[in-house]
Amino acid sequence: MSDFTPNEMMTIAASRALRSDDVCFVGIGAPSAACNVARLTHAPDITLIYESGTIGTAPDVLPLSIGDGELCETAVTTVSVPEMFRYWLQGGRVTIGFLGAAQLDKFGNINTTVIGDYAHPKTRLPGGGGAPEIATSSQQVYITMAQSKRGMVEKIDFFTSFGHGDGGDHRKRLGIDTAGPTLLITDLAIWKPDPETREFTVVSLHPGATRETVQETCGWTVKFAERLEETPAPTELELKTLRDLQARTKAAHAGTAKKGKAA
């Protein structure tokens, strides 16, 4: 088996959670890589939707943004953003919303707005885009992010995308009838919410990861499942698919950069 990085393990573990019959609303970055690895391996019929209105897209390279022409060129169809949100997302047709996070708490609440005070932030982040709607209207939400104490915090600075709120039945009490975050995949572990409290609990450690490294890179006291599993290592096919995709992406974007300089 080839050596692999924690980020490769994270992307591949996330891709395995997807199925061919899923309709997946894809976030840019790590979620996009995971969704496209799934499409190129075990889930060829998965329907990928990006926020710009591209439905059933099958990019040859990973998009730089939701406005990347690669998405429109390879889509089954492209609809207006209002139609995509109202008919597809709010109509309950999206089975999985796949999101990343700058800050995340133990109940799956996401901050991608500001670090620090909202009026006087230390860092202003890209913002929510469609993520708040994805978090409430997708049937389930998967989250992927690399672990760090800066990212996985006891209390997020701003609620951009609502997860399980304060835990328990908070979503239900607010009238949100979708499942919310049901899976968190990091570069060290796979987490699932506790059935009662909705607090994310580690259910599987990636190869080489330990309870100690998971705790050292998390800002809250981590809970581990009684039966802790080990995530299967990436297969040769999974690694090759991911690396080839990343290599094509790098080559394509390098070409774009050169054209820009020439212009």
Which of 250, 246, 191 shows the shortest CA–CA distance to 220?
Answer: 191
Which residues, 6+ apart, have CB-to-CB distance to 177 below 8 Å? 171
Q: Which residue has the tokens 């890209």?
A: 126
CATH architecture of 6-262: 3-Layer(aba) Sandwich (3.40)
Residue 262 has pLDDT above 60, yes or no: no
Active site residues: 51
The backbone torsions φ and ψ at residue 16, rounded to the nearest 5 degrees and listed phi first, read -65, -20
Q: Which of 5, 12, 4, 6 is nearest to 147 (CA)?
A: 6
Structure confidence by residue, pLDDT tens digits, 106-165: 999 999 999 999 999 999 998 888 999 999 999 999 999 999 999 999 999 999 999 999
Which is it for strands 114-116 and 121-124: parallel, antiparallel or unpaired?
antiparallel
Give the largest Cα separation in the chain, rounded. 59
What is the pTM for the complete model shown? 0.92
Structure tokens at 176: 């949100």
What are 177-236's pLDDT values in tens digits?
A: 999 999 999 999 999 999 999 999 999 999 999 999 999 999 999 999 999 999 999 999
Per domain, the residue ranges of the chain are 6-262
pLDDT confidence of residue 2:
63
Measured CA to CA, the distance from residue 36 to residue 39 in angstroms comes to 5
